[in-house]
């Protein structure tokens, strides 16, 4: 019973912390003012994602003491998440050169992998493959990409929060059905911490997440997916499927901008979700569409992988193909003038 009380407390604490951060941001004029690269039109307080970070990190030891989280995973999540959040917080309140941010991101990814024991053998088309040092290198790149793509995708009201909640609750359902109930509490805790924040971030947002929150969510979700891989390779494929909306939009956009020769480190508004929000004139339809895609398309495919034994690699292809088509339809990575 204490486990469910912890989850409810996390929602409440996150809600209260976000309210306090919003008042602080307004008092100190920590405001995100719209510019040519913004997807919003109203000046809005920023930095509310710190409530997610603090709620998760302070509640994590309680899960550990209750025997609901393994020490290795708690240290991996706590250390990597805290470092990424700190870097994001400092960047939100000043500026850190991209090379130093990236170095910190790689260090956080390496820390998490060390405590998790690296990347386990992965099943590709029915064969278990141990990738040795190459697998560890790819796992580090994966975690660094996850935290950065989450930052890129946090561009309209509620989208990053809704994605995190959908993915975490979807993973909890998969764990329960597959008999891995012991893995449920970490993603459940993260979903609870985000839910308290979402009350203030749901369209029209009254506070934005900021780099500290978005980077934290990206690295935590990535670490949780690798933790799941140690329980079952199929669970890793399921996580990749659940994260499909963000992975496809961010990756497709990055590749297209790289091919065109853009400075990919510069701010832009060329993700598919950003074009879609401008086409519809509001953020809400796009954020709700992400929730629907997660619930009605990606989750059922992930269920087929974990519960029915569908090949994970094949399922990722099936899950991502319509998302790639949507990315093309909404001009992901295109020059903004092409919008019209």
Whole-angstrom distance, CA of residue 289 vs CA of residue 329:
15
pLDDT at 195: 98
Whole-angstrom distance, CA of residue 21 vs CA of residue 212:
13
Among positive and negative, which fits the CA dihedral 84, 41, 248, 11?
A: positive
How many separate domains does the chain show?
1
Whole-angstrom distance, CA of residue 47 vs CA of residue 213:
7
Q: Which residue has the tokens 């793509």?
A: 149
Per-residue pLDDT at 337 exceeds 90: no
Domain that holds residue 297: 2-339
Give the C-alpha distances (Å, rounded to integers) separating 79 from 16, 112, 338. Answer: 24, 7, 42
Per-residue pLDDT of 240-257, as tens digits, reads: 999 999 999 999 999 999
Measuring CA to CA, which residue among 102, 110, 33, 156 is closest to residue 265?
102
Per-residue pLDDT of 110-150, as tens digits, reads: 999 999 999 999 988 878 888 888 999 999 999 999 999 99
Percent of the chain with pLDDT over 90: 81
In this prediction, residue 338 has a pLDDT band, given cuts at 50, 70 and 90, of very low
Q: Is the pTM of this model over 0.75?
A: yes
């Amino acid at each position: 019973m204490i486990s469910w009380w912890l989850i409810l407390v996390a929602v409440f604490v996150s809600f209260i912390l976000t309210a306090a951060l919003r008042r602080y941001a307004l008092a100190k004029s920590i405001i995100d003012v719209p510019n040519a690269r913004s997807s919003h039109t109203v000046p809005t307080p920023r930095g509310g994602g710190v409530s997610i970070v603090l709620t998760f990190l302070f509640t994590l030891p309680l899960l550990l003491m209750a025997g609901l989280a393994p020490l290795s995973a708690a240290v991996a999540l706590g250390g990597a998440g805290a470092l990424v959040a700190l870097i994001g917080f400092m960047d939100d309140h000043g500026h850190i050169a991209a090379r130093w941010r990236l170095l910190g991101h790689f260090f956080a990814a390496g820390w998490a992998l060390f405590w998790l024991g690296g990347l386990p053998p992965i099943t590709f088309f029915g064969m278990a493959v141990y990738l040795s040092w190459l697998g560890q290198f790819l796992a580090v790149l994966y975690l660094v990409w996850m935290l950065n793509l989450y930052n890129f995708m946090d561009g309209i009201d509620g989208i990053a929060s809704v994605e995190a909640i959908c993915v975490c609750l979807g993973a909890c359902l998969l764990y329960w059905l597959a008999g891995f109930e012991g893995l449920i509490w970490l993603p459940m805790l993260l979903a609870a911490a985000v839910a308290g924040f979402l009350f203030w971030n749901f369209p029209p947002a009254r506070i934005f997440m900021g780099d500290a929150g978005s980077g934290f969510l990206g690295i935590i979700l990535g670490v949780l997916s690798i933790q799941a891989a140690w329980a079952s390779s199929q669970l890793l494929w399921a996580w990749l499927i659940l994260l499909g909306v963000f992975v496809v939009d961010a990756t497709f956009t990055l590749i297209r901008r790289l091919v065109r020769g853009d400075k990919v480190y510069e701010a832009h508004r060329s993700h598919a979700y950003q074009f879609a929000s401008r086409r519809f004139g509001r953020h809400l339809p796009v954020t709700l569409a992400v929730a629907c895609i997660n619930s009605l398309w990606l989750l059922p495919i992930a269920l087929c992988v974990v519960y029915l034994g569908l090949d994970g690699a094949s399922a990722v292809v099936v899950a991502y193909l319509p998302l790639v088509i949507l990315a093309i339809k909404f001009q992901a990575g295109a020059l903004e003038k092409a919008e019209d």
